[in-house]
Amino acid sequence: VDEFEELARFSGIPEIERVALQHTLNIKACIRQIAKDKKRKMEKMNLVVAHLGGGISICPVKKGRLIDANNAIQEGPFSPERSGSLPMTAFLEMCTCGKYTKSFLLRRLVGEGGLVAYLGTNSADEVVQRIKEGDNYARKIYEAMAYQISKEIGAMATVLNGDVDYIVLTGGLAGSNLLTDWIKRRIEFIAPVIIYPGENEMLALARGALRVLRKEEEAKEYK
């Protein structure tokens, strides 16, 4: 789903255009859920929705439209399995120094980046347990992920000119109280923070089909 505004598409060089690649199903499900919970129309609200899972998408939502987002594979905060945005000159040096294979570098970006690269695991539960057992390095890395998530949420709030009704934290990592507490401390000055733990893609698909069957919406064709 590509609802990006024009300014969101510029990357910094004309050879590369930013594209919409985010966890759309779960984000859209959260938009509908918060509209229902707050008894408001989603077309009347501005939100920042942060999907926190194996990959991370942070999306400013303007009147129901996903007008920007970090590319969940190439940009944004590091996640349990992905590197997120990197210092480009340093990464270019890694690509050209002859020490690393292309497949290794691709895995560093997606699959073996983030928590896996630093701590050898993609399990937030395992990281939290290590922190409870006194692993200060694990604590630093986990808090650094919360720090980067908070920065990206703040950046996306500026896309909405600071006019944010709610910030929503969702996805599997939203069930980690330690992580969400760190994030909330940094962002709740922007807007109230709502937490919807879990990933609801299948439920979102089912509800979308039901809305079509009830003739509440027309079926959409994505190409």
Strands (E), the chain: 46-52, 56-62, 65-66, 166-171, 193-197
* Structural domain includes residue 42: yes
**186 pLDDT higher than 60:** yes
Flag whether 221 is in a domain: no
Cα–Cα distance measured from residue 208 to residue 145, given in angstroms and rounded to the nearest whole number: 32
Q: Looking at the domain assignment, is residue 11 inside a domain?
A: yes
- pLDDT-based confidence at residue 210 (cuts at 50, 70, 90): low
Q: Give a yes or no: residue 220 inside a domain.
A: no
- 94 CB neighbour count, 10 Å cutoff: 13
Query: What per-residue confidence (pLDDT) applies to 222?
Result: 53
pLDDT digits (tens, 9 = 90+) for 71-113: 999 999 999 999 999 999 999 999 999 999 999 999 999 999 9
- Local structure of residue 134 (DSSP, 8 states): T
Reduce the DSSP state of residue 153 to 3 states and report it: helix
Query: Domain total for the chain?
Result: 1
For the chain, give the percent of residues with pLDDT over 70. 90
Residue 222: inside a domain, yes or no? no
The sign of the dihedral angle between the CA atoms of 193, 195, 201, 207 is negative
| Phi, psi (deg, nearest 5) at residue 126 | -65, -40
Domain containing residue 79: 6-213
CA dihedral 168→81→172→78, nearest 10 degrees, is: -20
Residue 23: the pLDDT is 85
Confidence of residue 21 (pLDDT cuts 50, 70, 90): confident
Neighbouring C-beta atoms of residue 176, cutoff 10 Å? 20
Task: Tell which phi-psi region holds residue 71, choosing left (phi > 0), alpha (psi between -120 and 50) or beta.
Answer: beta
Q: What is the CATH number of the domain that holds 34?
A: 3.30.420.40
User: What whole-number percentage of the chain has pLDDT above 90?
Assistant: 85
Residue 39 is assigned to a structural domain of this protein: yes
Residue with tokens 């859920």: 33
- Is 218 a domain residue? no
Per-residue model confidence as pLDDT tens digits over 114-130: 999 999 999 999 999 99
- Does residue 202 surpass a pLDDT of 60? no
1 in any annotated domain: no
- Strand, coil or helix: what is 125? helix
Please give the residue that has the higher pLDDT: either 204 or 92: 92
